[in-house]
Structures are given as structure tokens and as C-alpha cells.
Copies of this chain bind each other. A is one copy, B any other.
């Protein structure tokens, strides 16, 4: 088998969220009758239940009507939009951003992650990632032929910290890691790195000259007023770092494909060069919609957080009511990542069985790290009248397959 064939065999997407309709049919041992109820797709948020920021469509239309100057922007994004976005993100994160040099607009935060890794990771470069973390992080490292150095997140046994193993992280830095990439709040567990953890990550990165890539996609949707520390605003921060954010999740603007990366200018310069050959630019008219981001109506974000917090509380209690199930309470973002007791089927088959018996779609834990063979991820940004029944049925199916 040639190199490319092998590489693409490793880039599996059969169990990836959103691809469930394309799964090839496999033989499954179905126990019991179907459990009817709402067919919730927990692989991504439901933008019908939690709508985009009010005025987003109208702002898109305004951009479209401006014509050529919005359709064709510089590869790093339109300069007026960059100025606005830089000012908003500087205020939110607590440290300045030069809109000319330190910010790029991308097609989704996925686009930002791809560009960042594409211009920082060459073959053999060591990249530290957290396990569990966003499922594409490991695939990106593999595509660019870097070497994955996993660092464990002990999220279930802690409550004050996210639980990142800082000793292991330092050891990986000593071994020559070039880049450390992590999401905060963490996807899929919803834990937030404490100030102490964040300061230590910054200090270690500076000490060992490691580039940091902090994915803060969910950093606006924080529950219970949990403290949140922006690494980029710390005095300990290293010279080379990027922060990634975008309006696709908390703000339900995913359909416009918008993201941003901001940080060290030489990295942004490289990302722009790469964007020039990847997609040229973030969609022109969509870029205009950034005008609504961080400019939501009074109270909008607060209501949004309250609505999600209520769903979270209900689902956490439901999961915990089953013996042998554990889950950490989400501190930020829209995910829960429950652990199930031993079952007679693999977690990927379990997900397929759940879909067949209930119509509910969940994402197997193994997408987030090979060791998560008893976990699944749920994006609970759904219609609240359906979430309880859907997870209840998932857990009923679990009971049918629980190992004796």
C-alpha cells in the first residue's frame, strides 16, 4: 500500500458526527423492541431550536448588496471586518490584537485549525494533544505527518481543575514538542482549565519554547459563572501562540462558515499564504455577518446560557441515575461525555444500535481518543422538550446491553 492510501485509511470519518447517514450497513444484534420518541441528532447543535443571533440574515443581505468589495476580500479577510472583530476579541480576551497583523478570518474554526496546523506541523514534528479532545485534532496531526504526544485529562476525578496532567505535559515539552493544542472549554467533556492550570501551561510553553494553540470555541458559553482565564492575556504567555474562536456554536452561525484565529503575526502570515491555496478566503458575504458577533441584543447571551444550563442539569441527573454511569458536569459549552458501564457491544456498535432502536444519534467516545471505549458525546444544544426522552431511551438501550 502506498503512503497516501495508508494515510487516508487512517483518516476515517465513518463514525464522525454528521456522517451517520453514510455508514455502510453492518450486522448488529438488536435486543428488544424499538423505543419510539423524538429522533434527536446529538452530533451537532440544532439551530432551529437555538436560533442564530437575531439580525444575522439581514446583515448577510446587507453585505451581499454591497457587492464586489464584500465578495472579494484579501485572503485574510476584509479589512473593515477585521478591525471590528479584532476590537471585540481584544475586549473579550483582555489583550490587544492588531487587526492588520494578528488576525485572520477563516471558513469556520475548522478552517482556522487546519491552517494553523498546516503551517506549523511538518513531518516528524511532535504535537502534544489532550485526550479526550476535539476529534479532528488527532486527524490533523496525522495528515501533516506529525507525531502525536497524548496528554491525559483526568476529568472525572477532579472538580476544581480540568485535570490535565501537567507533569506529563512538561515531560512532553522536554522531549521536544513543538506545538501544544487544546480546547478550553474542553470538547467533549465541557471542563474549563483553571487559572492555575492555564498559568502553568503558559509558563511551561514559554520555558520550553513551545507554540500554543488554544481553541476557545466555547469560551462565551460558561455556566454557573465559572471563572475563565484567557491564556493570551497572562503575563506568562509565550511569544508564539494562537487563539481560535468563531461564531458557529454558541451563536448558531455554523451555516455561514465563520471562524477566526488571532495571535503571533508570523503565524497569521503563513496561515494567509496557506488560505490562498486552500479556499482563497472565508466566504465573502458571510464575513459581513461577523458584525453581529459580540453585538447581540441585550440579554441574548444570558438567556442562551440559562436555556442550555437547564438542559445540562436535567441530562446530568438522568445519566447519574443509572448505576455505573458517570459524567462530569459541563462547565462551558454544549457537550456532555458520559461514561457507561461495561456492555456486550463496542461503543461504535452501541451508537449504531441506539440509532436503529431509537432514532437518536450520539457520537462514540473513541472519536476523541482510542481509550474512550465506554463513553459517548452528546451535543445538548437541542430542543429542550426532546432531550430528556432521547437520552432516557439511549440509557434504556444501554441497560439491554449491560454486561452481566
Binding site for B on A (CB under 8 A): 2-4, 7-8, 11-13, 16, 18-19, 21-22, 44, 46-48, 57, 60-61, 64, 67-68, 70-75, 79, 107-108, 110-111, 113-114, 119-120, 122, 136, 139-140, 143, 254-257, 270, 272-274, 276-286
* Interface residue from B4, B256, B270 paired with A285 (Cβ < 8 Å): B256
Q: Is the interface of A mostly helix, strand, loop or mixed?
A: helix
Contact A75–B18 (Cβ < 8 Å): yes
- The 9 sampled A-B contact pairs (Cβ below 8 Å) are A7-B122, A8-B273, A12-B273, A16-B75, A46-B68, A70-B255, A136-B277, A257-B281, A257-B286
How far apart are the CA atoms of A7 and B273 in the complex, in Å?
Answer: 11
Among B3, B12, B18, the residue within 8 A (CB) of A74 is B18
**A74 proximity list for chain B (CB < 8 A):** 18-19, 21-22
Most chain B CB neighbours (cut-off 10 Å) among A22, A70, A71: A71
Tell me if A75 and B120 are in contact (CB < 8 A).
no
- Contact of B277 with A3 in the complex, beta carbons under 8 Å: no
- Find chain B residues with CB under 8 A from A114 CB: 277-279
Provided the pairs A254-B284, A279-B257, A284-B255 are in contact, do residues A57 and B64 lie with their beta carbons within 8 angstroms?
yes
Tell me how far the C-beta of A124 lies from the nearest C-beta in chain B, rounded to whole angstroms: 10
| Contact, CB under 8 Å: A61 / B57 | yes
Given contacts A11-B277, A107-B283, are A19 and B64 in contact (CB under 8 A)? no
Known: A57-B61, A113-B277, A257-B257. 5 other contacts (CB 8 A): A4-B120, A18-B74, A107-B257, A114-B277, A255-B283
Specify which of B3, B254, B283 is in contact with A72 (CB 8 Å cutoff): B254
CA distance A79 to B254 in the complex (A): 18
List chain B residues, Cβ under 8 A from A12.
273
